[in-house]
Amino acid sequence: MLHHVGIYVSDLKRSSEFYELILPVTEKEKLIWNDTELLFLKGEGFQIELIHAAALEQAYTHIAFSVTSVTAKINELKQKGITPTEGPYELPNGWKTVFYEDPDGEEIEFICTTKLFKKL
């Protein structure tokens, strides 16, 4: 299932206002990851991740698919001879994520947004 499409932008506020103007989206969540500001916009059945990038000539977009377990996805793809290009990572909000590249270098992300809580 599609989780989000990531778009690199030079100004989060300006881009957020633009997407809120042209699409039925609302701000969902802001966070900082690896010193990068992220802003998720939520629409009906989709999300857009705005990623602040100081140098857009080095930026690219990516597609992210929601999974129930990042570890299970890594193991599944490992059996097929495919290894992550980045991660796995745990984000400050508890989400887990891992990145792969397709044959042309396009980034594909698998993300688990289910937060598991341990009983005390």
Please indicate, yes or no, if residue 86 is contained in any of the structural domains: yes
pLDDT at 104: 55
Distance (Å, whole) CA 23 – CA 42 = 10
Please indicate, yes or no, if residue 117 is contained in any of the structural domains: no
Q: Report the CATH number that the domain containing residue 8 is assigned in CATH.
A: 3.10.180.10
CA 39 to chain centre: 10
pLDDT at 64: 84
pLDDT at 56: 64
Structural domain that includes position 73:
2-112
8 A C-beta contact, residue 109 and residue 51:
no
pLDDT band at 118, cuts 50/70/90?
Answer: very low
Mean pLDDT on 36-57: 85
For residue 86, is pLDDT > 60? yes
Total structural domains in the chain? 1
Distance (Å, whole) CA 64 – CA 98 = 10
pLDDT at 99: 93
Mean pLDDT on 38-53: 89
In 3D space, the residue among 40, 59, 71, 52 whose CA is nearest the CA of residue 107 turns out to be: 59
Region of residue 34 (phi > 0: left; psi between -120 and 50: alpha; otherwise: beta): left
pLDDT at 115: 66
Full strand arrangement of the beta sheet holding 62-66: 26-33, 36-43, 46-52, 2-9, 62-66, 107-112, 96-101, 86-90
pLDDT at 98: 94
